[in-house]
Amino acid sequence: MSNYAIDKATIRITDARGKIILVLETDVLSDAHTVPIRITNAANGSYVVQAAQPDRSASTIVVKQ
């Protein structure tokens, strides 16, 4: 997920059923900003990770094993 403005962003993780697992607000400090996310209590499976700013958003699917 790239091309984000240096600003605040909301990271949302949902499971395959649409249940929200985690929501966090973060400051995007550069184009190469990395946000560590821990979902150790979540079950193994597929999750949608969405990053959103007021004028843009992107999502990807990750698999926890």
Q: How would you write the pLDDT of the chain (65 residues) with one tens digit per residue?
A: 555 566 788 999 999 999 999 999 988 876 666 888 888 889 999 999 999 988 889 999 999 99
**3 is a domain residue:** no
Q: Which pLDDT score is estimated for 22?
A: 95
Q: Domain range holding 12?
A: 8-64
Give strand ranges (E) for the chain.
Answer: 8-15, 20-27, 45-53, 56-64
47 phi and psi angles, rounded to 5 deg: -135, 145
Give the count of beta carbons closer than 10 Å to the beta carbon of residue 13. Answer: 20
- Exposed/middle/buried for residue 9 (C-beta within 10 Å: 0-12, 13-18, 19+): buried
**Residue 16 within any structural domain of the chain:** yes
In a domain, 2, yes or no: no
What is residue 1's predicted lDDT score, i.e. its pLDDT?
52
